[in-house]
Structure 1
């Protein structure tokens, strides 16, 4: 079992809808990896080469606002630990919560993020 370490660098955030759509666009070089607790999408940003940006989303299908926010908080905490080490510079990442994200054991959530990032690397 791998241990979670604190990030060395602060990650940038995707905030605008257009940034999320750019990553999700399947017509380009967008890659994704689905795991039981989350989906990770990744795409090279055409204008940046030296930083990593990430965004987190949860649909209303997951539950009410409390559950969605909890799922995003958990994804954010785990991604902040693994993305600086396993992410690729110049790429944008979108983490999409699934139904089980809010209630999954912390270790399994981190393992899923680690495996997804390794697969996309």
Structure 2
């Protein structure tokens, strides 16, 4: 791990990052949000929709390597960077994902992002 990076572990930090800039790519979604001077931090999320534990852990290892390579130079200072795994991210070429991450970081640095997600509907109360 790179000494200037720290890991986000608290759920509240992940939830806060969801209100930041969103850049979707074929294998992942990158969320970036200022973090009030905590330095460059990263977090990884891969849901059960992606696959079983073996697949999810493999994807997390790939994401960790991508972030360790890209964030020291390309990461935004004093920002949280969250990578969310998407379907098909495990089969994607590692070099292609590295280029996509660099492109997503460049867009985030300019303040550009994809349109915000629609709010999820509240569940109806159970009878």
TM-score (normalizing by structure 2): 0.80
Q: Which residue in the other structure is 2:108 paired with?
A: 120
Q: Please, which of 12, 15, 20 is the counterpart of residue 21 of structure 1?
A: 15
5+ residue gaps in structure 1?
Answer: 1-6
Regions of 4+ moved over 3 Å:
7-10
Q: 2:74 aligns with which of 86, 98, 112?
A: 86
Distance (Å, rounded) in 1 between the aligned partners of 2:87 and 2:73? 27
Aligned residue pairs: how many? 109
Q: Any unmatched runs of 5+ in structure 2? A: 110-127
User: Deviations for 1:77-120, whole angstroms, at most 9, x for unmatched residues?
Assistant: 01110111111111111000111111111111111111111111
Task: Please provide the CA RMSD for this pair.
Answer: 1.4
The 2-side partners of 1:80 and 1:35 are apart by 18
Using the TM superposition, give the Cα deviation of residue 74 of structure 1 relative to its aligned residue in structure 2, in angstroms: 0.3
| The structure with more radius of gyration | 2
TM-score (normalizing by structure 1):
0.84
